[in-house]
Amino acid sequence: MVEGSGGPVGGENLLFLTDEQLRKGIEAMFFAYRGFTADPDRILAQYDYGRAHHRALHFIKRSPGTTVNNLLSILGVTKQSLNRVLRTLIGDGLVESRVGRRDRRERHLYLTEAGAALERELSEAQRARMRAAYRAAGPEAVAGFRQVLEAMMDEDIRHHYLELKETRS
């Protein structure tokens, strides 16, 4: 809202978006995602890794000691798919798998020093892009953007997101 205008910016009523306005938003999301993943993709290509490797590194970093089952739930991938990614990351010395103390069937995942360094490089590339975009958009847009993203999440995904959000506080 533009202050003092009494109405939405540009006359667009955000409660009643046209199909054309929604299409523009969808296209903006596609192109933004392409930009958001471009820098990490270039880094990952040097290791012959893909985005699944990046996501695994990210969430293991966020929750050191997370279990394989928890990571499966967060990522929403098949066990076979995650095992392929984890085998590579463990084999390359980026992730360590430890047997659970209470339940020896559980495997707890931790980044090694090399894994933490790669995760830092990947996330810094994305933080730099997000920082620049947030600065350009301003604080109200940032808060609104986060609200839109949270509203788009499926309920079970929102649950994981909110759990991670709690650990940041």
Average pLDDT, consecutive stretches of 10 residues, N- to C-terminus, the chain (169 residues): 42 71 93 95 96 97 94 93 97 94 86 98 96 95 92 86 74
**In this structure, what are the phi and psi dihedrals at residue 66, rounded to the nearest 5 degrees?**
-55, 150
Domain covering 31-132 assigned CATH 1.10.10.10 in the classification: yes
| Domain locations in the chain as residue ranges | 31-132, 138-169
Strand-pairing partners, residue 36, are none
Q: Which of 151, 3, 164 is nearest to 71 (CA)?
A: 164
pLDDT of residue 14: 59
Sign of the torsion angle spanned by Cα atoms 79, 81, 82, 84: positive
Task: Give per-residue pLDDT as tens, 13-54.
Answer: 556 788 999 999 999 999 999 999 999 999 999 999 999 999
d(CA 49, CA 114): 15
- The answer, as to whether pTM is greater than 0.85, is no
